Amino acid sequence: MTLAKEEPDRGEPLAPGGQDPYVPSERRLARERYKRARSRRAVAVAALSSLVTAAALVLVVVNAPGWSRTRETFFDAGYAREALPLVLDGLWLNVRLLLVCGAAVLVLGMLIAVARTLPGPVFFPLRALAAAYTDFFRGLPLIINLMIVVLGVPALRLQGVSVDPVLLGGTALTLTYSAYVAEVFRAGIESVHPSQRAAARSLGLTNRQALRHVVLPQAVRRQVPPLLNDLVSLQKDTGLVSIGGAVDAVRAADIIVGRSLNYTPYLVAGLLFIALTIPMTRLTDWVTARTDRRRAQGGLL
């Protein structure tokens, strides 16, 4: 007695490989509908909450006793139109300072971090100098450092030393931020397990080659988010070079304010700095989230 072989239903097409197509269950479909409904509800609640908060803040500000005077002083459209092209020209100086000083800070910070992590007693003087540098410039307020460099260096009347306030201000920014970045790099270097260096040495690499090809790539990759945060702070602090007379965005706004006694140009400069900072901040958040996901999945050493 033979059993007849069941034929598949010709009315339903088969998936590639001869298997029946997947059909989600009603429970799964209901769960997905519930998740979509909760997501839409969360977006609606967040939007409504934001609108209510913004409306409350506007009502508080507009109904303040000094609002009319504040509006004339800080929100004058005429002075905003006058200040915008001049502040934009000054902002280009801030962008150039960010690019040049950022590159110099990364290089100098890496060298200081490597000097602080050199093993052996023969390198103790170098480690001590690097530690003294980071302690000094991390403890010294940036505004005081700028005043010392921008105002003190020209007073020395050294031959062959530039007195350009832009160059001196950039030097002060580089000195201060290199100390912070050096500690970020040092934390990354020390976070690499010693077995990584030992494995590299067992493969025949020298200490220098192990540092360059094994330790530093891992250290830099781990410290990308805090490095980007330091660059965001550097971008904002480039406005401090105006204390030496450099005509950046802040100084351009200050010139108009001194002539008109209206503070709208300061607001214009602030908004331009915010517009320049937000993309870098979002990039930092994206890199941080990406690093966390890779670490959670085991893809980041």
Residue 67, pLDDT score: 87
- Residue 12, pLDDT > 70, answer no
Look over the chain and give the mean of its residue pLDDT values, rounded to a whole number: 85
Check: pTM over 0.85? Answer yes or no.
Answer: no
Q: List, for residues 158-172, the tens digit of each pLDDT value.
A: 888 888 889 999 999
Q: List, for residues 182-239, the tens digit of each pLDDT value.
A: 999 998 888 888 888 788 888 888 777 888 888 888 888 878 888 888 988 998 899 8
Residue 298, pLDDT score: 62
Q: How much is the average pLDDT of 282-298?
A: 76
Contact status, residue 265 vs residue 256, Cβ threshold 8 Å: yes
Q: List, for residues 13-46, the tens digit of each pLDDT value.
A: 554 555 557 788 888 888 888 999 999 999 999 9
Give the separation between CA 262 and CA 282, rounded to whole angstroms.
33
> Two tokens at 85?
């092209």
Residue 168, pLDDT score: 92
Residue 229, pLDDT score: 87
Instruction: Work out whether the CA dihedral 263, 265, 268, 272 comes out positive or negative.
Output: negative
Residue 126, pLDDT score: 92
> Two tokens at 52?
């209510």
% of the chain surpassing 90 pLDDT: 39
- Among the residues of 64-164, which ranges form H helices? 67-74, 77-116, 124-139, 142-147, 153-156
Measured CA to CA in angstroms, residue 15 lies from 29, 142, 267 at distances of 21, 67, 62
